[in-house]
């Protein structure tokens, strides 16, 4: 997607002019939400189970000054914070149901602290409705209050290692690492240390910008069983995921004063470059749904650039099925990242890109306007018994990968990431008076999360139990049936040539974006008393 009209410089459908106020969006959301009870359909997003599971993991894997007290509540926590972080929860095997931990430097380390802070945001700043839903099955409201007090103390513990991460210049994932927790710590608590770390992390990420290539270097090298790219001097490796780290640069530019303004320029240049390098035009289907006036796009996962000529040397995948296939989470990163970038820039190119990526995602997941109105079973054993062969609106790990129809490999994380992006699109389009298209993406997002909860929410649930007046403990609803994650059927990497291939598990970032979706609904006023 470049500078020519044929490469995506379409315009939104003719209609009312863009507006900066939120009145149009609010009106659209009020009208749409009167037709559906989002709080009831998605009540699991606000259930006690969510708080209980996050609290249990936060307390269990916290690092104590006395290792023998590691799992006990009320222990003296190590002021340095944990040295390992939750990554995934196997669904089978000897460790099924329990988190596998990764070193603090791994790219996913920010998501679990971020999930804690999302719950704190929900409790402290958002609608009382979420608290009322959480309290429905709790004998005393004091229990939930005590649980949140405990989460507040644990949040600081889990965030502590992230401050040192802000100095890292060896990864483009610094946005994923620092933003989920430290942004909310700054916004909720006014912690200047967290804002300072964000500003430092922005500078660290900007140091990876290769001006001659017009892009931020994602990976220094690429090592797979079938390919190795080790020469950094002649190769700039850029991945689609990188779009979701740009929010760090825009946020730092906004909060860092004149000396940080350049960060936004770097972010916009990078996002513009990926329009050319990572978006693949796809044929549109007639009569599919409201159209935004542009094309559909799938995504490449990895692009290797020549740092001198800016030419594309190679496109390939590291986590998808094949170089030319559409890796579902990569497509979701694109939807989310460009919606986020539009929010920061108000540049139509990025809104168009996110729309085109979202419509293609919905086409491939078989989510059509007619299917949005279909009532489906509330308990899935796999497929919808009234429509055999139809996958729930949980995307496959790769849209082009062969599937065993009885045992599909899905990626619940891709669905909830894309759904969050569609909520951002809905708000953006509603603010411009594009209500039909805004409603389309809003309904689609809710449908994806509704069916994700029905199909992929772990049925091994947890609850809060009073331990004393000042303490609370977490128990399994059914004794000894434990699954520490919220969602199942995530796929970290199912590429046949990956150095580590693993699928069908809970993923810490799938859980993070699930909780974020609930918070977005609350902020949009779609969940009400």
Per residue in 63-105, pLDDT (tens digit) is 986 655 554 445 689 999 999 999 999 999 999 999 999 999 9
Q: CA-to-CA distance for 236 and 446, rounded, in angstroms?
A: 38
What pLDDT does 127 receive? 61
pLDDT score of 4 more than 70: no
What pLDDT does 19 receive? 34
pLDDT score of 525 more than 50: yes
Domain containing residue 364: CATH number = 1.50.10.10
Confidence of residue 23 (pLDDT cuts 50, 70, 90): very low
Mean pLDDT calculated for residue range 503-520: 97
What pLDDT does 286 receive? 72
Confidence of residue 288 (pLDDT cuts 50, 70, 90): low
DSSP class of residue 217?
-
Q: CA-to-CA distance for 342 and 271, rounded, in angstroms?
A: 10
pLDDT score of 3 more than 50: no
What pLDDT does 371 receive? 52
What pLDDT does 185 receive? 98
What pLDDT does 20 receive? 32
Confidence of residue 391 (pLDDT cuts 50, 70, 90): low
CB atoms within 10 A of CB 189: 15
pLDDT score of 128 more than 70: no
| Position 61 in a domain | no
* Residues composing the chain: 529
| Position 136 in a domain | no
Confidence of residue 393 (pLDDT cuts 50, 70, 90): confident
pLDDT score of 5 more than 70: no
Is the model more confident about 65 or about 411? 411
Give the percent of the chain with pLDDT over 70: 82
What pLDDT does 366 receive? 79
| Position 140 in a domain | no
Is the model more confident about 287 or about 249? 249
| 438-495 per-position pLDDT tens digit | 999 999 999 999 999 999 999 999 999 988 767 899 999 999 999 999 999 999 999 9
Comparing 173-177, 252-256, 469-473, which segment has the lowest mean pLDDT?
469-473
| Position 261 in a domain | yes
| Position 481 in a domain | no
| 325-336 per-position pLDDT tens digit | 999 999 999 999
Handedness of CA 271, 274, 276, 279 (dihedral sign): negative
pLDDT score of 388 more than 70: no
Q: Which ranges in 346-498 belong to alpha helices (H)?
A: 348-364, 369-372, 412-431, 435-456
| Position 53 in a domain | no
Select, from the ranges 12-21, 311-320, 438-447, the one with the highest average predicted confidence (pLDDT).
Answer: 311-320
What pLDDT does 142 receive? 79
Q: Which residues contact 356 (CB under 8 A, 6 or more apart)?
A: 8, 279, 292, 294, 295, 296, 297
Identify whether the C-beta of residue 331 lies closer than 8 Å to the C-beta of residue 298: yes
What pLDDT does 21 receive? 31
Burial of 190 (0-12, 13-18, 19+ CB in 10 A): exposed
pLDDT score of 15 more than 70: no
| Position 52 in a domain | no
What pLDDT does 293 receive? 72
* Three-state SS at 333: helix
Expressed as residue numbers, the domain containing 395 is 1-35+208-456
Residue 444's DSSP bridge partners are none
pLDDT score of 27 more than 50: no
- For the entire predicted model, the pTM comes to 0.90
What pLDDT does 32 receive? 45
| 492-511 per-position pLDDT tens digit | 999 999 999 999 999 999 99
Q: CA-to-CA distance for 314 and 429, rounded, in angstroms?
A: 35
What pLDDT does 167 receive? 97
What pLDDT does 16 receive? 34
Is the model more confident about 120 or about 3? 120
Confidence of residue 132 (pLDDT cuts 50, 70, 90): low
| Position 219 in a domain | yes
What pLDDT does 308 receive? 92
Mean pLDDT calculated for residue range 111-128: 91
Number of domains in the chain: 1
Task: Provide the greatest CA pair distance for the chain.
Answer: 67
pLDDT score of 42 more than 60: yes
| 197-238 per-position pLDDT tens digit | 999 999 999 999 999 999 999 999 999 999 999 999 999 999
């Amino acid at each position: 997607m470049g500078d020519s009209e044929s490469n995506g410089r379409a315009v939104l459908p003719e209609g009312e002019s863009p507006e900066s106020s939120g009145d149009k969006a609010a009106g659209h959301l009020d009208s749409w939400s009167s037709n559906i009870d989002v709080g009831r359909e998605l009540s699991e997003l606000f259930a006690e189970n969510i708080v209980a599971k996050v609290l249990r993991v936060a307390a269990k894997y916290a690092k104590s000054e006395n290792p023998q007290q590691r799992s006990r509540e009320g222990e003296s926590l190590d002021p340095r914070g944990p040295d390992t972080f939750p990554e995934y929860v196997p669904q089978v095997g000897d460790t099924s149901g329990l988190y596998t931990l990764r070193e603090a430097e791994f790219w996913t380390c920010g998501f679990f602290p971020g999930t804690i802070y999302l719950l704190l945001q929900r409790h402290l700043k958002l609608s009382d409705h979420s608290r009322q839903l959480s309290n429905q099955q709790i004998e005393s409201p004091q229990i939930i209050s005590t649980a949140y007090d405990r989460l507040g103390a644990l949040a600081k513990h889990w965030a502590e290692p992230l401050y040192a991460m802000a100095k890292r210049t060896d990864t483009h994932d610094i946005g994923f690492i620092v933003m989920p927790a430290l942004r909310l710590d700054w916004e909720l608590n006014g912690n200047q240390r967290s804002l300072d770390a964000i500003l430092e992390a922005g500078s660290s990420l900007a140091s990876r910008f290769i001006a001659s290539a017009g892009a931020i270097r994602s990976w220094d090298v690429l090592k797979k069983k079938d390919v190795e790219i080790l020469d950094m001097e002649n190769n700039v490796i850029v991945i689609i995921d990188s779009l979701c780290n740009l929010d760090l640069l825009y946020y730092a530019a906004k909060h860092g004063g004149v000396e940080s303004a350049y960060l936004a320029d770097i972010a916009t240049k990078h996002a513009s470059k990926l329009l050319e390098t990572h978006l693949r035009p796809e044929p549109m289907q007639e009569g599919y749904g409201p159209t935004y006036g542009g094309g559909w796009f799938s995504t490449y996962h990895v692009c290797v650039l020549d740092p001198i000529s800016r030419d594309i040397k190679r496109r390939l995948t590291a986590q998808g099925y094949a170089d030319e296939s559409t890796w579902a989470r990569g497509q979701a990163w694109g939807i989310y990242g460009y919606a986020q970038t539009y929010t920061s820039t108000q540049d139509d190119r990025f809104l168009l890109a996110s729309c085109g990526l979202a419509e293609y995602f919905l086409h491939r997941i078989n989510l059509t306007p007619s299917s949005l109105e279909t009532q489906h079973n509330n308990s899935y054993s796999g497929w919808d018994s009234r429509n055999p062969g139809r996958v729930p609106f949980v995307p496959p790990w790769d849209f082009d990968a062969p599937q065993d129809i009885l045992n599909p490999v899905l990626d619940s994380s891709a669905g909830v990431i894309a759904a969050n992006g569609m909520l951002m699109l809905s708000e953006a389009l509603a603010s411009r008076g594009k209500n039909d298209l805004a409603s389309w993406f809003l309904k689609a997002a809710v449908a994806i999360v509704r069916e994700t909860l029905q199909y992929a929410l772990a049925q091994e649930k947890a609850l809060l139990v009073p331990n004393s007046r000042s303490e609370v403990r977490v128990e399994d609803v059914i004794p000894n049936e434990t699954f520490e994650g919220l969602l199942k059927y995530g796929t970290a990497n199912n590429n046949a040539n990956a150095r580590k291939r693993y699928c069908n598990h809970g993923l810490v970032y799938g859980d993070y974006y699930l909780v974020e979706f609930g918070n977005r609904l609350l902020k949009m006023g779609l969940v009400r008393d």
